A = this chain, B = another copy of it.
Amino acid sequence: MCHRCDYEGLLTSAELEASSNRVRILEVIGNNGFPLSAGDIFRILERSSSINRVTVYRILDLLVEAGVIERISTGGRAFYYGLAPNHHHAPHSHFYCKRCGRMDCLIPGTLNVETDALWKTFSGRIDKVEVRVDGICKNCLQTQTH
């Protein structure tokens, strides 16, 4: 996504210590062009140096809680994680391919949600409005298996 991002800066400005594992996880998420699952992130990190699965889950929870990354639900079983919107990253929705499980970012602005009526009528606390497009990606359509 962003090779110019200052990941340590993102952590410290969220008042989190920039421990090496946290920076590594944030790098994996930030440098990847599309959201990844906790398992994906774990496997990528393991290749460079050992880390515990649980640590990955805990850091992901922490970063979501701090608003540094975003937890994105899929049409599948696992959550995916991407950088939270910030001044370098405009908010955008995602496309989930139910064949290969890959999640792609849509161009910001391709999907606009009209939320005015919701804010007026809804009587709970709204934290997030998530839009997800499900289907089959171009690549999977070309390499048909059925």
A-to-B contact residues, CB < 8 Å: 71, 73-75, 77, 95, 97-98, 106-107, 109-115, 117-118, 121-138, 140-141
Q: Can you report 9 residue pairs joining A to B where beta carbons are below 8 Å apart?
A: A73-B132, A97-B124, A111-B129, A112-B114, A118-B133, A125-B136, A126-B133, A128-B134, A130-B132
CA distance A52 to B137 in the complex (A): 35
Residue of B nearest to A112 (CB): B114
Residue of B nearest to A77 (CB): B77
CA distance A75 to B128 in the complex (A): 10
CA distance A98 to B113 in the complex (A): 21
Q: A74-B73, A131-B129 are in contact. Are A124 and B138 (CB under 8 A)?
A: yes
Residues of B within 8 A of A134 (CB): 126-130
In angstroms, how far is the closest chain B Cβ from the Cβ of A21?
A: 24
In angstroms, how far is the closest chain B Cβ from the Cβ of A73?
A: 5
Residues of B within 8 A of A137 (CB): 124
Residues of B within 8 A of A135 (CB): 124-128
Say whether A121 contacts B113, CB under 8 Å. no
Residues of B within 8 A of A140 (CB): 124
